[in-house]
Structures are given as C-alpha cells and as structure tokens.
Structure 1
Amino acid sequence: MIKIIITKTEQKIKKVEITGHAKASEYGKDLVCAAIAGIATGGLNAIDQIKPDNCEFLVKEGLINIIVKNDSADLQVMLQTIYYQFLTIYQQYQKFISVKEVKE
C-alpha cells in the first residue's frame, strides 16, 4: 500500500511524505504506483524549477519527501495541487492508497 501523509500547520502544507508501493499489479506494470509517482515527481520537479530554494527533497526507492523550508503563496498552490491530485487517485483506488492529514 502507498501511504501519503500530508503534514499541515495552520492549514498550510509543511511536508508531503509518500512511502510504499501500491502492489495493484506486478512490479513495472502497476498503474496506481505509476500515477502517484508521476504526480509526486512532476510536482517536486515543478517546485524545484519555480521555487528552487523553498523545499528540501528526499527521493529513494519507496520514499518521496517534500519538506517546506521557505513558505510562499505560490508554493502552497503547487503543494495543494499535488494533494488534490493524490485525492483524485485515492478516490478510485482506496484499496491501494491511504491519504492522511496530520496537524502539527
């Protein structure tokens, strides 16, 4: 299962943590995993290009972290977009994904 944890402070996203694998299909053919990885990778690439000093990224096999260092309104729009894209996939594939919001 893919676990997505969105950490918020005062309604602002401070961290996005994605762990695990969907296991909806065999490795390399798992469209649920590919969808989440595509959203996460595209999102962090956009943040890195548009707001290069605003976040810290950690990308490993089965783990993606996006940690806010310098917040801004533009950054929050990008992070909210990523979050709502995850929720869209989650609505269809709840057996393979969990999305949790944590308040600090």
Structure 2
Amino acid sequence: MIRITIYKNSNGSNVGFKTSGHAEFAEYGKDIICAAVSAITINFVNSIEAFTNDRFKIKTGDGLLKFRFQKEPGPESKLLMDSMILGLQGIQNDYKNEYIQIIFKEV
C-alpha cells in the first residue's frame, strides 16, 4: 500500500508531504497506481521548482518521496499542492482505499 502523509502547519497550510510504499496493484513495471502517484508527485515537485520561488527540501529513496517547504508557501505553491492532493484523492476514491492511504498531519 502507498501511504501518503500531507503535512499541515498550525495555520492550516499544506507545507509538505511524504509518500512511501508500493501499491502492489500489479507486477513491477505494470502498476498503474504506482505510476499515477509517481507522475502526480514528481510533476508537483517539478512545477514548484519551475513556476515558483519557494524553496524546499526533498528526500527520495525506494518507494519514498519526502517534500517540505522551507517557509510558508506562496499562493502559487498552495494551489499546486491543492491540485496534487486532489489528484491523489481521486486515485484513492477510484480504488476504494485498497492501494493508497492519505492522512493529514499537523506539524
């Protein structure tokens, strides 16, 4: 199962996320859920880098992507983060929470 934790600050702003695990929907290389989550999250990181001036820290590994803004994100970053969450929740809804779990955590 892919576990996604969305980090929120005390102001209610989304300030980062962590994805870990594998969906195990299909064999390696054919897992459409893993591919979709990867595409959405990597596109988010690339979009933040290309379209905003917000700085962030990132860590990657096997089945792991950890992203955190260094300061309060600007309006463009907030919109991009909301869009990423919407896409991930769409996958979660389509596959009935069996392969992907999203939780929100205050940090």
CA positional deviation for 1:57: 1.6
- RMSD of Structure 2 on Structure 1 (CA): 1.2
TM-score (norm 2): 0.90
SS across alignment from 2:22:
coil
Question: Is structure 2 residue 7 aligned with structure 1 residue 4?
Answer: no
Q: Runs of 5+ in structure 1 lacking a partner?
A: none
TM-score (norm 1): 0.93
Q: Runs of 5+ in structure 2 lacking a partner?
A: none
Segments of 4+ in structure 1 off by > 3 A? none
Matching of residues 48-63 of structure 1 within 5 Å:
48-63=49-64
Matching of residues 39-54 of structure 1 within 5 Å:
39-54=40-55
Letter in 1 for 2:94: Q
CA positional deviation for 1:59: 2.0
Letter in 1 for 2:74: S
CA positional deviation for 1:54: 2.0
- How many angstroms apart in 1 are the aligned matches of 2:101 and 2:70? 25
Matching of residues 1-104 of structure 1 within 5 Å:
1-9=1-9, 10-70=11-71, 71-93=73-95, 94-104=97-107
